[in-house]
A and B are shown apart, each in its own frame.
Chain A
Amino acid sequence: MRETQPDKTSDQFSAPRAVHSLGLIFFPAFDWAISPSHPEREERLLYTQDQLREEGLFDIPGISEHRPELADFSDISRVHFCPPGFARVAEVPHLASAGSAISAGHLVLSGTCDKSFALTRPPGHHAMKVVQGGRGFCAVNIEAVMLERLRKDYGVRRVAIVDTDCHHGDGSQDVYWHDPDTLYISLHQDGRTLYPGSGFSNELGGPQALGATINIPLPPRTGDAGFLLASKEIVKPVLDAWKPELIINSAGQDNHFSDPITDMHLSARGYAEMVKTINPDIAVLEGGYSIQGALPYVNLAVILALAGMDFSRVIEPAWREDLAATSPDCMDYIGRLRDKTLEIFQRPGQSATGYRREKGGFVRERDIYYDTDGISEQQSENLRDCPNCPGLLIIRTRTSYSDWTICIHIPRSACPACAAAGEDRKREAERKHEAWEFSDQRNDIYLRG
């Protein structure tokens, strides 16, 4: 063996260089679908893979591709209560998708890369704190599973999740509803016109975490200019004021003008501009079902934006100026939304909507529907009114198929009194032979009985 080596390079031909080093986890799960013709099927990231390869993206110094890890049930139990048992709800693909997000998180927190992007499926942002089944193509909240793992491994505290999927991320909102250390911001098509029908401006977080949830419901047919206005004049100032240690982007791609199940006007370059403005550390793919006309171009543009590179030539073949336009009325509406949202963020008020006070706590009753599995859930939530910490959370849950389960959640920053109350409630459940789940985030202990 002698002379040439495959990687003997000279400076004569230098590839474009990434300004921010970017690690990609590309996990298309080419052998899994919810059902053969479901939007969440094998084909979904096929064209994206071809586009990224053909672009020579992985030859760009600073852009690297990495293998995902497989999450395990202990990672999921850090986030979810799951009365039917994880094995009934989460399949291997969900563990792989959550594992992809975790791997993306490690790349950044370990200092391997400046930024990372997990292009993975299935998505997760409709999976709530309690999981009784599948909702909106999701069973496991992949961003939350990643974030809790990163908190455990690296001790990060203040984290912002900016959800740019076209659907309101009601799952992520619910997981962090009572957590004042996690700012959840969602930009989405107005819930009066799209699944899941939530995410209104008055949803601001639970009674002890008011202002840590920000919803920006955008009118249908919002285009590039509208999204840019919302991200530059709402999201950006909120992030600047809140000062997170880490920004995660739930990067759904269904705001694209060609998406078949939504009604927005965003283009690939519009997406890239928005990502550039938000400047996330970690991005995780969520929805997006225009798999031929949008995803190959949006993913490419988002990757280039994350890497700090030029994306001006990523013009999808179907693009026309009017397809990505925002009407003047729509711009006015978003302008008013900006003023209202910033005002609420600065003064979120004293009480959360939907709660009543009861014996030293805040109580809320809810019905939740699991559309993927056709399950109805009844929930009763009780948050301890604690002046020293976010408060002990107890959720009673039952479905059309199962009896009550008591879910006890001691938050990361719980005070000794709340922690002791949580332990007491667990003992009581054991004594009364109730079904129970117990999560102690302070000690990373998760039990069920």
Chain B
Amino acid sequence: MMLAGLDVGGTFTDAALVDPVSGRCLASVKAPTRPDTVLPGVLEALERLFRENADLNPGKVKRLTVSSTLGLNALLTNKTRPVGIMALPGPGIDPALFWRPDPLLRILPGAQDHRGRVTAAPDKKSVTEALETLKKLGAVALAIVCKFSPKNPDLEKELAVQARLIFGPDTPIVLGSETSGSLNFPRRMHTAWCNAALYAISREFSDALKKAAQNLGLVCPINILKADAGSFSAAHAITDPASTMGSGPAAGLLGILAMSKRPQTNADSKIFERTDQYMIDMGGTSTDIALLAAGEPLLARKGLNVGGRPTLIRTLWTRSIALGGDSALRVRAGEVCIGPDRSGPDLSLQGEGEVPALPPPTLTDVFNILGLASISDVQMSRQALRRLLADPDCPQTITKESPDPEKQTEALAKLFLDTALARIKEETLDFLREINAQPVYTIRELLVDKKIAPQGVIFIGAPAQALRSELEKALGLPVKAPLESPFANALGAALAKPTQAVELYADTLLGRLTIPDFNVEKKINAAYRLEDAQADMAQAFAAAFRDEKAVNSDADLQVQTVFAESFAVFDPSGQRGRILRIRSQYAPGLALEREE
């Protein structure tokens, strides 16, 4: 059996077939990505993958997972269609403050409180008026979001019924409660908006993909990669396209994770198995840091931010530093500066009629001079750095140390390298501090004080091989730089497994249980306990992922409980009951099969 992965990048669309036991790439192709449309590249890559590898039977593909920039591009280039948003905020902060001036945002009366009790009924007349206005303004999709709807979706559903009457059966109507079970009303508004805006594009893509797969003889399930480094079915992606935005970094992380697990690149793979690790990716203009916690990609506490919209989309927790191989090096007032810009002809220094000034040297020049790499002509690198030595702003310590210009150049190069490594170290530690400074809400957590403590670093990107031992010295941690494949992202997509994180809310006094992400609503009685809720949660996961059973190992579909809380509740009326809150998940990771 095989896994297929497909990644849409800015320049190329890559496809790969992967062996699910070793995680090795069996076949791969690159097709150009068209600047304004994703689908042709996807279809070409898929078609060529099987045509050029006729020995590999498409019937043996267990799953195809696609990581695409479709949704993100549509959003960033404003190619989405107009969405009307109906918000029922009730008391609190004015939701318009989290939005922008938008005639398609309608704030309506009607409210629910923190337990999901309706405290003010919506006004039928103003709802109808709002819907008619939205229709007149050209809205072709709707998002309906009520505060505290994850605890009780009734008001949203009531409004959806009214909306159907006015907008007809074919208009996409997205409810906040279906979007996410997390409590954050402004983010739920933005996420529901994204889902409504991307619905049509996502449906078209999904249909085309299915047709193409059929034509190629692919009979397997098709999944779409998400920002949380997991995947879900293409059918699910139609109603929740927002989650597929920002899947690029997730594909990359999974790919590198797969490559770093390969036996030939590391003899000490066991150390990296279930421990905390930094993942540092040094590119041309930036260095990105991510974390693996006990071997699993660490997800951010807050959701993805797309096009300025804060959402509830689960995503990797990363930090980006404006420092990379192409970062411009300068001297200013006796200090060395790196970046934040990429080196290029410095037009600011160029007067009229003058010869264009030479671009400042880069960190790559420094690697060349110090013999860490030989990427381009070392002499050119030395000349570039020597220009800085002639600058009166150059640190005095360098020029005073030795009269030999060669030695001065090397000393300056060393200073730049040390400064860059110090920046990376400082940001890495600060990132870890940020992660470990999460608030806690119980005495137990305050006493246990569980913290993430990375044991090593997986280092990738063009300068990784050259800088590996230098970074090891700087961070004081073992650093490994796995050999990279140009198909890392496609490989990562292929090896993604299904993920989901959901909340359950149960209130025995109100007799109500909801699992918003799975659209589960249920009546419960006074005897309902945490054990019952956990059983209901497991059942809901099993029902929602029934189709995935055939494709995934049981180990991949383990429901993890993130937290499970039970509160004894005493109503002002004197009634006793229980409020339960559970968050459970399928965590991201690699869908590697165990060797027989």
Name A residues whose Cβ lies closer than 8 Å to a Cβ of B. Answer: 1-16, 25-32, 36-37, 41-43, 46-47, 49-51, 53-59, 65-68, 70, 92-93, 96, 260, 290, 292-293, 296-297, 300, 304, 309-310, 313-317
Q: Is the CB of A56 within 8 A of B184?
A: yes
Give 29 A-B contacts (CB < 8 Å), ordered by A residue. A1-B253, A4-B245, A6-B300, A6-B304, A6-B315, A13-B98, A13-B308, A30-B441, A30-B567, A37-B568, A43-B567, A43-B568, A43-B570, A53-B184, A54-B184, A55-B186, A56-B98, A59-B98, A59-B186, A59-B310, A65-B439, A67-B438, A67-B439, A68-B439, A93-B443, A296-B113, A304-B93, A313-B92, A317-B120
Tell which of B92, B190, B309, B444 touches A55, judged by Cβ atoms closer than 8 Å.
Answer: B92
Q: Does B320 contact A (CB under 8 A)?
A: yes
One digit per residue, 1 when the CB lies within 8 angstroms of any chain A CB and 0 when it does not, for chain B 298-312 equals: 001011111111100
Please give the distance in Å from B573's CB to the nearest CB on chain A: 11
Chain B residues near A11: list those with CB within 8 A: 308
Chain A residues near B308: list those with CB within 8 A: 9-14
Please give the distance in Å from A291's CB to the nearest CB on chain B: 9
Tell which of B120, B183, B438, B441 touches A50, judged by Cβ atoms closer than 8 Å.
Answer: B183
Chain B residues near A31: list those with CB within 8 A: 442-444
State A9–B309 Cα separation when bound (angstroms).
8
Chain A residues near B111: list those with CB within 8 A: 317
Q: Is the CB of B72 within 8 A of A46?
A: no
Please give the distance in Å from B574's CB to the nearest CB on chain A: 10
Q: Does B82 contact A (CB under 8 A)?
A: no
Q: Is the CB of B246 within 8 A of A54?
A: no
State A10–B185 Cα separation when bound (angstroms).
20
Q: Is the CB of B310 within 8 A of A13?
A: yes
Chain B residues near A53: list those with CB within 8 A: 183-184
Q: Does B565 contact A (CB under 8 A)?
A: yes
Q: Does B24 contact A (CB under 8 A)?
A: no
Q: Does B63 contact A (CB under 8 A)?
A: no
Q: Does B100 contact A (CB under 8 A)?
A: yes
State A28–B443 Cα separation when bound (angstroms).
9
State A93–B445 Cα separation when bound (angstroms).
12
Q: Is the CB of A28 within 8 A of B441?
A: yes
Tell which of B91, B94, B447 touches A315, judged by Cβ atoms closer than 8 Å.
Answer: B91
Q: Closest B residue to A65 by CB, please name it.
A: B439
State A9–B443 Cα separation when bound (angstroms).
35
Chain A residues near B226: list those with CB within 8 A: none
Q: Is the CB of B94 within 8 A of A292?
A: no
Chain A residues near B390: list those with CB within 8 A: none
Please give the distance in Å from B102's CB to the nearest CB on chain A: 10
Q: Does B480 contact A (CB under 8 A)?
A: no
State A279–B183 Cα separation when bound (angstroms).
30
Q: Is the CB of B439 within 8 A of A66?
A: yes
Closest 8 CB pairs of A and B: A10-B308, A317-B119, A56-B186, A16-B97, A12-B308, A1-B252, A1-B249, A53-B183
State A31–B445 Cα separation when bound (angstroms).
10
Q: Is the CB of B446 within 8 A of A70?
A: yes
Q: Quick one: which of B111-138 are within 8 Å of A by CB? A: 111, 113-115, 119-120
Q: Closest A residue to B120 by CB, please name it.
A: A317
Please give the distance in Å from A156's CB to the nearest CB on chain B: 25
**Known contacts A1-B281, A42-B567; A7 and B183 CB within 8 A of each other:** no
**Known contacts A2-B249, A66-B437; A54 and B579 CB within 8 A of each other:** no
State A46–B246 Cα separation when bound (angstroms).
33
Chain A residues near B439: list those with CB within 8 A: 25-27, 65-68
Q: How many residues of B contact A (CB 8 A)?
A: 71
Q: Is the CB of A57 within 8 A of B441?
A: no
Q: Closest B residue to A268 by CB, please name it.
A: B91
Tell which of B114, B281, B569 touches A54, judged by Cβ atoms closer than 8 Å.
Answer: B114
Q: Is the CB of B184 within 8 A of A9?
A: no
Chain B residues near A30: list those with CB within 8 A: 441-442, 565, 567
Q: Is the CB of B447 within 8 A of A310?
A: no
Q: Does B535 contact A (CB under 8 A)?
A: no
Please give the distance in Å from B33's CB to the nearest CB on chain A: 12
**Known contacts A29-B442, A42-B568, A47-B115; A12 and B100 CB within 8 A of each other:** yes
Q: Closest A residue to B290 by CB, please name it.
A: A1
Name B residues whose Cβ lies closer than 8 Å to a Cβ of A. Answer: 9-10, 69, 72, 90-94, 97-100, 111, 113-115, 119-120, 147-148, 183-187, 190, 227, 245-246, 248-249, 252-253, 281, 283, 288, 290, 300, 302-310, 315-318, 320, 437-444, 446-447, 565, 567-570, 572, 576, 579
Please give the distance in Å from A107's CB to the nearest CB on chain B: 12
Q: Is the CB of B246 within 8 A of A6?
A: yes
Q: Closest B residue to A312 by CB, please name it.
A: B94
- Total A-B residue contacts, Cβ distance less than 8 Å: 188
Q: Is the CB of A292 within 8 A of B248?
A: no
Q: Closest A residue to B505 by CB, please name it.
A: A50
Q: Is the CB of A1 within 8 A of B440?
A: no
Find the residue from B10, B100, B253, B308 having the highest chain A CB count within 10 A: B308
State A309–B315 Cα separation when bound (angstroms).
30
Please give the distance in Å from B263's CB to the nearest CB on chain A: 24
State A260–B572 Cα separation when bound (angstroms).
8
State A310–B100 Cα separation when bound (angstroms).
18
Chain A residues near B100: list those with CB within 8 A: 12-13
State A42–B119 Cα separation when bound (angstroms).
25
State A42–B567 Cα separation when bound (angstroms).
7
Told that A59-B310, A68-B439, A297-B91 touch, could you supply 5 new A-B pairs with CB distance under 8 A?
Answer: A7-B305, A29-B443, A46-B567, A66-B437, A292-B115
**Known contacts A6-B304, A12-B308, A16-B98; A54 and B565 CB within 8 A of each other:** no
Chain A residues near B316: list those with CB within 8 A: 6
Q: Is the CB of A56 within 8 A of B447?
A: no
Q: Closest B residue to A26 by CB, please name it.
A: B439
Q: Is the CB of B184 within 8 A of A3?
A: no
Chain B residues near A2: list those with CB within 8 A: 9-10, 248-249, 252, 283
State A49–B565 Cα separation when bound (angstroms).
14
Q: Is the CB of B248 within 8 A of A314?
A: no
Q: Is the CB of A92 within 8 A of B91?
A: no
Q: Is the CB of A13 within 8 A of B99?
A: yes
Please give the distance in Å from A174's CB to the nearest CB on chain B: 28
Chain A residues near B579: list those with CB within 8 A: 43, 46
Chain B residues near A51: list those with CB within 8 A: 92, 114
Chain A residues near B94: list those with CB within 8 A: 16, 310, 313
Q: Is the CB of A5 within 8 A of B438?
A: no
Q: Is the CB of A4 within 8 A of B114?
A: no
Please give the distance in Å from B417's CB to the nearest CB on chain A: 23
Chain B residues near A3: list those with CB within 8 A: 10, 69, 72, 246, 248-249
State A30–B439 Cα separation when bound (angstroms).
13
Chain A residues near B183: list those with CB within 8 A: 50, 53-54
Please give the distance in Å from A202's CB to the nearest CB on chain B: 37
Chain B residues near A50: list those with CB within 8 A: 114, 148, 183
Q: Closest B residue to A53 by CB, please name it.
A: B183
Q: Is the CB of A10 within 8 A of B307?
A: yes
Q: Closest B residue to A51 by CB, please name it.
A: B114
Chain B residues near A313: list those with CB within 8 A: 91-94
Q: Is the CB of B569 within 8 A of A43?
A: yes
State A115–B69 Cα separation when bound (angstroms).
42
Tell which of A26, A37, A47, A56 touches B114, judged by Cβ atoms closer than 8 Å.
Answer: A47
State A1–B246 Cα separation when bound (angstroms).
10
Please give the distance in Å from A191's CB to the nearest CB on chain B: 26
Q: Closest A residue to B566 by CB, please name it.
A: A42
**Known contacts A4-B72, A13-B308, A13-B309; A55 and B281 CB within 8 A of each other:** no
Chain B residues near A70: list those with CB within 8 A: 446-447
State A264–B94 Cα separation when bound (angstroms).
28
State A9–B90 Cα separation when bound (angstroms).
27
State A46–B253 Cα separation when bound (angstroms).
37
Q: Is the CB of A92 within 8 A of B443?
A: yes
Q: Closest A residue to B92 by CB, please name it.
A: A55
Chain B residues near A9: list those with CB within 8 A: 305, 308
Chain B residues near A26: list those with CB within 8 A: 439, 441
Please give the distance in Å from B111's CB to the nearest CB on chain A: 7
State A356–B293 Cα separation when bound (angstroms).
67
Please give the distance in Å from B46's CB to the nearest CB on chain A: 22
